[in-house]
Structure 1
């Protein structure tokens, strides 16, 4: 349950950073600011993928069996 909440929190953080990056891009202020927000979003995405791979490998999460 804690893993799922952490993944949901990271996904919400990704959406927030994406919106902040869009706001920085549209305001034409500092291009480095937009790159920082987009970089944070990519780190969150990588962390979510890593958590999912670790959870599947350790058996915390399980996939659905095939119907065959």
Structure 2
């Protein structure tokens, strides 16, 4: 058995491709943890630090904190 990975450049064509591949009985489709057509919306995270009293220096300090 061989495995291939496809990168679809046009999101509008994913539905067509999936329907086409489902017609072949010798192809098994395994979906990853994320939905194929689901993309992360970067702008939905905007304002997540609003109202918090923290700056870049404090974030770095917490991120690089090491226990000895």
TM range (shorter): 0.3 to 0.5
Structure of larger gyration radius: 2
As a proportion of its length, which structure holds more helix? 1
Whose RCO is larger (CA < 8 A, sep 6+)? Answer: 1
